[in-house]
Structure 1
Amino acid sequence: MEPTLPVLFLDVDGPLNPWMAKPHRRPAGYTTLRMRPTGWEPPRPPLRVWLNPDHGPLLMGLGCRLIWATTWQAEANAWIAPVLGLPELPVVRWPQMHRRDPEGVHWKTRHLVAVAAGRPFAWVDDEIGPRDTAWIARHHTGAALPYRVDPATGLRPDDFAALREWAAGRTAGA
């Protein structure tokens, strides 16, 4: 029987693009890119994005099924994946972005739990809060790791180690 990998829902801005880092100081290992995803047309200047090409192999080595869970949606495959050396990844299609939740959870939370459909999942984002963690614990039947990343630093070696360790304990059928 082939092992079933846990899902890793991956946000771009925050975990991969440390957008809150000081604007005059690019984080070590990161490349500065100028991008114009949909909605970022002139007269706006191109969007500054910092990406670390080393993150692609690290993500691929986590032992998870990677899925984009970002407002970049399918454009993450066009703009972000090539820089990181990632293959085209599945994308979460949001029914509505940035909507206010009646219970105060992040607008992604409910939909990610629905998409996971009981499978083990980790969610890597810079906007996860205690309400999200509690809501997921109450409404998701499988293992879940809501993993908040500091948007000023992005994913760090310790984060990759924690995600790898979590995923190793969640591979079914291995």
Structure 2
Amino acid sequence: MDATPPLLFLDVDGPLNPWLAPPHRRPRGYTALRMRPTGWEPPRPALRVWLNPDHGPLLMGLGFRLVWATTWRTEANTWIAPVLGLPELPALDWPEMHRRDPDGVHWKTRHLVEAAAGRPFAWVDDEIGPPDLTWIARHHPGPALPHRVDPAGGLLPDDFAMLRKWAADHAPGTSRGQEP
């Protein structure tokens, strides 16, 4: 039996950085930062990112193996993780970003299912839609929780509670987390 906890594929912009919040109203608990990840070099202005340092300990306490599933790729370890107090996390390396899918499936979905390799996983992102839910249900043999987060609010207490419960229900050794 695999003793690995379920995976949590974690997007940055939307779940951790509520980028769609009104620019004049920083969300409560968030720190406003200016960052220059790859692609944001001058003359482009620095990217405004809002992060809540409380999210790091909350994420670490959910019972998942955290994996970056973001266009930030491994740069999330440089720019995002230190602010949240997260250790260096593995990051998915996308074969192609922002690709149009003929079935209307998000460009991350197929790769996430492949990376999960049948293991239980949750995915938090602000761009998950009905085609992704259908595709995951048809192509992933294990439990999966694709969870859309409002990009104006980011991860909220109810999201953390739901993720914590789901991880506990699908942890190794639980009846739902048992290997077939």
TM value normalised by structure 2: 0.95
Backbone CA RMSD of aligned residues: 1.0
- The match for 1:80 is 80
- C-alpha separation in 1, matches of 2:2 and 2:72: 32
1:137-170 CA deviation, whole Å, 9 max, x = no partner? 0000000000000000000000000000000011
Structure 1 residue 4 displacement after superposition: 2.1
Match of 2:178 in 1: none
Contact 1:4 1:173 (8 Å CA) reproduced = no
> 1:2: Cα distance to partner?
7.8
Residue in 2 aligned with 1:65? 65
What is the match of residue 143 of structure 2? 143
| Secondary structure of residue in 2 paired with 1:134 | helix
Unmatched tracts of structure 1, length 5 or more: none
Query: Deviation per CA, 1:67-120, whole angstroms, max 9, x where unpaired?
Result: 000000000000000000000000001000000101000000000000000000
Q: State the partner residue of 1:162.
A: 162
| Residues 1:7 and 2:7 aligned together | yes
For normalisation by structure 1, the TM-score amounts to: 0.98
Give 1:30's aligned residue. 30
Q: Which runs of 4+ in 1 moved over 3 A?
A: none
Measured against aligned partners, the alpha-carbon deviations of 1:11-60 in whole angstroms (never above 9, x if no partner) come to 00000000000000100000000000000011111100000000000000
Identical columns (%): 79
Question: Contact 1:125–1:149 at 8 Å: present in 2 too?
Answer: yes
One-letter amino acid of the structure 2 residue matched with residue 13 of structure 1:
D
Q: CA deviation at 1:172?
A: 1.3
**What is the number of equivalent residue pairs in this alignment?**
174
**2:165 maps to amino acid:** E
Tell me which residue corresponds to 1:172: 172
For 1:138 and 1:24, locate their aligned partners in 2 and report how far apart those are by CA, in whole Å.
42
